Amino acid sequence: PHSHTDNDGDGCDDYTEDNDLDNDGIASIFDNCEGDPTAGWISTISDDYDGDGCEDATEDWDDDGDGVFDVDDKCQTSMTVNSDFDRDGCDDETEDWDDDGDGVPDSADSCPLGMINWNSNSDNDIDGDGCMDSIEDNHVSGKVLHTLRSNAFMTLIIGSLTVLMLAGMVLSTRRERGRSDFADQTWSVEESMHSASPLTPETPEKQVRDLSDLGYSPEVAKAIVENEERARRDRN
């Protein structure tokens, strides 16, 4: 047993007789906002578009009741939303001209139900067909252009060219330095051999040992001596 309660003053017991506790014209089983029962507000299509018992201006954040908040809803007064692929609050068949919301009309979109939450532009959709180049577009030239324009690819190319140029400069410098050092070494050996007494000529083996003692590798020392021998024979 319970005491008689009639908060909206309509003469009906709230627990057993009244099916509209706030008296706004919306049955309690459908009313999402059973607030002040004496406010005097009556639900109409002009201020409660979806008939959920919530006043659109002050209580309802989804006026058409499609599950998309008004701040994100591009069609805030949809009658019925049967399909909404991009969740923009517009029925795909009757209201939405761009079902996936990429900025390309369905009539020109090769991927009308493709990736969402992106906008087609010249950087990510080169041919403007509504297919994201890096993920959806099977058009080969589009994929190639996307790759060529990507920052990572260009960075790799520039880095590789820089390394190759530096390597070429180093090798060229080493070659020039090697030629200069070899010429200096040959001239030094020639001077030392000319200054030596002709009565006590040194054998090639002795010359190689002497150069090795100065820090040259056996191969380099032998090459210097052989070069000097050839030069001496040419002079004679």
Percent residues over pLDDT 70 in the chain: 76
- Amino acid 178: pLDDT: 60
Looking at the domain assignment, is residue 119 inside a domain?
no
HSE-CB at 2 with a 13 A cutoff on CA atoms is 7
- Amino acid 224: pLDDT: 81
Looking at the domain assignment, is residue 21 inside a domain?
yes
- Amino acid 134: pLDDT: 84
Looking at the domain assignment, is residue 73 inside a domain?
no
Domain that holds residue 43: 1-60
Looking at the domain assignment, is residue 89 inside a domain?
no
Residue with tokens 């209580």: 59
- Amino acid 68: pLDDT: 92
Point out the residues of the chain with pLDDT beneath 70: 1-4, 37-38, 139-159, 174-201, 236
- Amino acid 214: pLDDT: 78
- Amino acid 162: pLDDT: 75
Cα–Cα distance between 100 and 67 in angstroms, integer? 17
- Amino acid 72: pLDDT: 92
HSE-CB at 220 with a 13 A cutoff on CA atoms is 16
Q: Is 76 helix (H, G, I), strand (E, B) or coil?
A: coil
- Amino acid 22: pLDDT: 84
Looking at the domain assignment, is residue 201 inside a domain?
yes
Cα–Cα distance between 167 and 96 in angstroms, integer? 58
Looking at the domain assignment, is residue 124 inside a domain?
no
Looking at the domain assignment, is residue 216 inside a domain?
yes
Looking at the domain assignment, is residue 156 inside a domain?
yes
Total domain count for the chain? 2
Tell whether pTM > 0.85. Answer: no
